[in-house]
Structure 1
Amino acid sequence: MRLAAIEAAHQLAPDDAVPPLLAMLNTAEADEIAAVQSALVRTPGDKVLSASAAALAKAPPPVRVALLDLLARRGAKSNVETVFAAAGDNEASVRTAAFRALGVLAAAETAPRVIELTLKATEEDERTEAVSAVVQVCGRIADAGAQAAPVLAAIGQNTGEKRALLLAALAQLGGQEALQAAVADTKSEDVAVQDAAFAALAAWKDASAAEPLLDLARSTERTKQHVVALRGYFHLVGLPSGRPPEQTVRMYEDGIAVAKRPDEKRTALGGLAQLKHLAALRAVAKHLDDPELQAEAASAVAQIALPKDEKEQPLRGADMVAALKKAAEVTKDDALRGRITEYLNNLPKPDEANLAQGKPVTTSVAQQGDRSPDKAVDGNSADPNSAWFGAAWPSWLKVDLEQPAKIDSAHVTFYWDGTRSYQYTVDVSLDDKEWKTVADLSNNDKPATSRGVMHTFEPVEARYVRVSILKNSVNEAVHLVELRVFAAGTAPKLASLPQPDAEGFTPLFNGRDLTGWVGSTNGYVVEDG
C-alpha cells in the first residue's frame, strides 16, 4: 500500500509531494526508499534538488546514500558543495556514495580537492569509487595532455598506501608523463609501491605500457611481479589497435619467449586465436607439439583457420592445411577433430604446382582495410576481392618461396573491372639482393582481365619473386589478386581466347556446345535446333 501511495502522491502533485516523500525516507524500508528515490528523480524542477540536499544532514545513512545518488542522477551541479561535505561523513557507505556523485558532478578545477579526499578514504569500496571520481574529474580537463597533472602533483607529495592509490588513477588517465612516473615507481624501495606500480601498468588504458611491461617481466626476480607484468602485457597487446596483424603476432611471440609457465603461454595463444591471419596461424601451430599446450594450440588453430560463417573470407595456403591436419592429429577433442576434418574434406584441391601459394609475403606499402598481402598468394584467383590492396604505387609485393627453385613462369592477376590497366615488372632473386627482371610490362595499357597474364621466361634459379607495380590507370592504389609461380615445365596452359573469324566476328562458343566459352556458364543453356 505504501509503495502505491508513493507513486500516487508523485503523480497527483509532484511539487507538493516532495516534503512528505523526503520525510517518509526516515522511516522507510529499503524497497520504499528505492520507490521514493525513483519518484523524486522524475520530479521536475530544482525544488526537489535543494530539498534533497537540505535533508542530507539529518537523514539516516541509507537515506543519505539514496539522496546522494538522486543528486548524481539529476546532475545537480549546483549542490556539489553538499556532496563534497558528504565525502567526509562518518559512515563509509555515505562517503562511497559521495565519491560516486562527485565523479558525476565535480568540475575539473576541483580535482585537487577530490584527490585530497581520496587520500583519506579507508574502505576498499570507498577507495574504488574515490579513484573513479578522480579519473572522471581529471578527465574533464580540456587539455588531454594535462589530465594526469593533478594526480602527478599529488604523487610527488605522498608515499606508501596513498601513493599506491594514486597510481591506480594514473593507469586510467594515461599519458607519457604518467607512464614514466609509473615505470619509475616499479623501482621504489617500498615493495607495496612497487606492486602498485606493476598493477597500474598492467591495467593501463592503452598499449603504450606494453613494452615497459615486457621489459619488467624479463627483469623482475619476484614471481608475483612477473605474473602481473606478463598478464598485463598480453591484455594490452589484445586491445583494439591500428597495428598491422603481423606486428601484433610478433608482440605475442615476444611475450611467449618471456613466459615461465604454461598458463602464461596459454593466455598468449588465446589472444592469437582472435587474429584471422596466416602469421597468427603459424605462431600457434609452433606449439602443437608441446604436450602442455596442445589442447589450446589445436583450438587456436581451428579458431583462426575455420571461417565463422559463409561471409568470412577463409585463410588459404599450404600452411593453413598443414596446421589444421596437425591440430586434428593431436587434439583429444573429438568434436573439434570432426569440425576440422569436415572442413579439410570440403576444401578445393590445392594447386600443387604453384610454388607461391601460402608462402611468406612482404610489401613496400601498407595495406588498405583487411586486404592483406597474404591474400595475393592464397590460391584464389577467381575472386577479385580476395586480393592484396596496397595503399599506393609505385610499390611492390615479394614472395619468399622458402627455398631455391628453378622457375620459368609467373602468373599475375590484377583486380579487373574491364577498364583499369596496370604497369609492372616481375623480378626474381636468389639472395634478396641482386634482382633480375623476367617480365616487363612497364608500358602496358591493356585492361586487366580475370584470366591474368602468364609470363614465361628462360628457366632461372630463384627463391624470391617480386611484382613491382609502377602504375594503376584509375586510382592511387594497387590491387594484386594473385601471384602464382611455377617450376620449369610445370605451368598449366591457360585456355585460349576465341579468335576472330574471317568476317571479323569473335564467337563465344561453337553453336553446338560450350567449347571455347571462357566466361561464366551460369544461366546459359544450349539446345538442339
Structure 2
Amino acid sequence: MNHCLVNVTLALGLFVAAATVSAQDTAAQWANKQQAALATINDAALADLLKQGAPALDALLAEVKTGYASDPVAITRIAALTQYVMRPAGASSRAAYAGALLAAAQRANDADVICFFLDQLRWCGTPQQAAAIRAFEKSDKPGVATLAAMTVQAVTDVRTSKVAPVEPTRHVTLNAELATLPVSARTPHLLQAFDDPDLSYAGVAMARARTTGGAAETRLWTGKLATATDPVRKVMLLDMLGDRGDKNACAAIAPFLGDADDTVVFAARQALIRLDPAAFAAQLPALLKTLPPNRLALIRDGARQLKTVQIKDAVVRSYDTFNDTGKKVALELIKERRITEAAHLGLSALDSQDENAAIAGFRLLREIAGSDMADTLVAKTLASRGRVTPEAQSALAAAARRDTTGAYTAALVKALANAPDAQKTIALESAARIGGTELLKAVEASLTAPQPDVATAAVRALAAWPDAAALPSLLRVAAKDPDARRQTLAVRGVAKLFNTCQVDKKALLPTWRTLRADMKNATNQATIDDLFKEEVNVALGKPVKTDVPTEGNNLPAHLVDGTLEKAWHGARTPAQALIDLGTTETLSAMHITFYHADGRTYTFKLELSTDGKTWKEVAGNLNDAKPATAEGLRLSFAPTPARHARLTVIKNSANPAVHVQELKLFSSTTP
C-alpha cells in the first residue's frame, strides 16, 4: 500500500476513533458507559430501521459530522448496518442502504465525511454505483479521489486483476527463515537481525528472542546489552530480558538502574521486578544513597511494587547512608507500609534542615509513633516552624488519638504549663486538635495568662475544639473577658461549635442566662441569643380546611402531618387551606414542599390573622416563583402573632391542580 493509501486509512481510523471515544476515555471505558445505548444496536433494531426507509436512514447518516463532532453511538450504528446488509438477514436492504450512503456522500462537503461514506460503500456498495462513485475520483479534497478509486475496485470486484502480487517484506521473510531453523540455531540469526538499522526489523528479533533458548542464550543477550549505546535498543533488550524469565539476567540488568536515560532506568526497573523483585530490593540501598531529585518518583514507584519485608530490609538498616532525596523515599515507603520498627528514623528526620525531609518525618510518625515517643514528639512539635508546624501538629494529634495510655495528653498538659511563651501558641493549637477533659482544663487555665498573645491563643483553641465541651468557657469569655477582641473571637467560636457539633441547648441555656446579664456588647448578645433559639412547628397536626375538592385520598390533614409521604391534593387552583393553630403563636418562618418531580413551579402566598378576619400577607413567591425541589422552600419573616394561617396556591405551571406535600409554620423561643 502506498503512502497516500496509508494516509487515507489512518484518516478514516482517526475519524471513527475520535467520534467514538472521548479524550478522557479508552474505547473500553466508553463502551462501558454506553452499555444501554449500545444494547439497542441489534439485528431486530437494525432491521426495523431499514424498514423505515429513506427518511430514517437520511436522519441517521446526517449524524456524521466533520471535526470529530459526530455522535459516537450513531457512528457505531452505521457501522453495524454496513455489516448487517452484507449478511443474509439484511441482504434485501443492501441496495437501498447503499443508495442512502451514496446520496449522503454526494451531499457532503467535508473531506472526512465524504471519506467515511465511501469507506462504508467499499464494503456494501453495488456494481451499479460504480459510475457515480468514480465521479469522486475527480475531487480535489484530501484523500477523496484515492478512496473513491479503492471503492470502485471494491464494488466492481476487479481488484484481483489490477493489484500486483504483494512482495513479502523483510520482516515476513525473517519470520519464515526462523521458522525453518531448529531452536538451537535461531539465536545467531536473531542477534544479527537485532543489529539491523531498521528498528522494526530489530523488533521482530526481540519478539522471537523472548521465547528462544535458555541460559546460554540469555548470556548472549546480556552481552549484547552490555555493549548497547542507543537508549531505544537498550530498552528493547531490557524488555525482552525481563520477559524471558531467566533470573540469571538480573546482574546484567541492575547497572542500567543508573543509566543517564530515564526511559532506560524505567525499563531496567520493570525488568528486574518481573524477573526477581528481591533483586530490585537489593539495589535500593545503593540507589537511595545518591538518588537525584528528578528520579524520586521513578525509584519510589518501583519500590512500591515490593513486599513490605523487602522494603524493610532494604531501607531501614541503610537509612543513615541515604542522601536527602533517598531519605524522603524511604520515609514515604515506611509510612505507607506502617513499619513501626522504623519509628526512630522519623524522629531523626525531624532535625533535618530540609523542610521537606522534616515534613516527611512527621508524616511517618503520624502513622507509626507510639506512646514512648510522646515527650519527644511534643517537644519537636513545639519547636517546629513554618510549613513544618501544621504537619507536626497533625502527627501529634494522630498519635495522641491512637494512644490509650494518656502519655501524649500528659506531655502536652505539662508543656502548656511549663513551655516558653513563644511555644504556647503551638501547644494550644495542638491541644485543640486532640481535645479531651484534661487538655480542656489546661487550655482554660491559659485564658488568664498575663501574656495577651497566650490568652488570645487560648480563646482560638477553644473556638477550634473538636466537641461542644468548650462552649461554657467560650460563653464566659464572650460575656466577661475585658478584651473586646477576645470577646468577638469567643462569639465566633460559639457560633462555629453550634454549627459543627451536637449541642444540648437545654442543658447549656441556664449557663447562658446567668452570663447574659453581664454582656455589654448588644450585637454579640443578639448573636448568641439567636443560636439558642428553638424553632417549633406549631402547625403540626392542627385542623385544616380547604375551599376546593380533594383529589382521591390526598386529604387536607396531610398538609400538616409532619411527613412527606402523604400530601394534600386540591382539584383546582386557586386553592386555599386554613390552619387553626389553637392558640396565638408568634410565627417567624415557614417551610413548604410541593410535588417536584418534573420541574414545575407553584405560585403561592401565606397570610396570618389573630381573629380569622383581618389578614396580613407575610410570605410567598408571587414575584419570584422557581421550580419546586425536594428540599422545599423556607421563607423567614418578621415575628408576627397569629392564631390562624391561610395558604393560597394561585397557580401550578404543570396542570390546574394543587399538590402540597408539607407545610410547616415555625415559632421560636429566645433566652
TM-score by length of 2: 0.40
More helix by share: 2
Kindly indicate whether structure 1 or structure 2 has the higher relative contact order, using CA contacts under 8 Å at least 6 residues apart: 1
- What TM-score results when the alignment is normalised by the length of structure 1? 0.50
Please tell me whether Structure 1 or Structure 2 has the larger radius of gyration of its CA atoms.
2
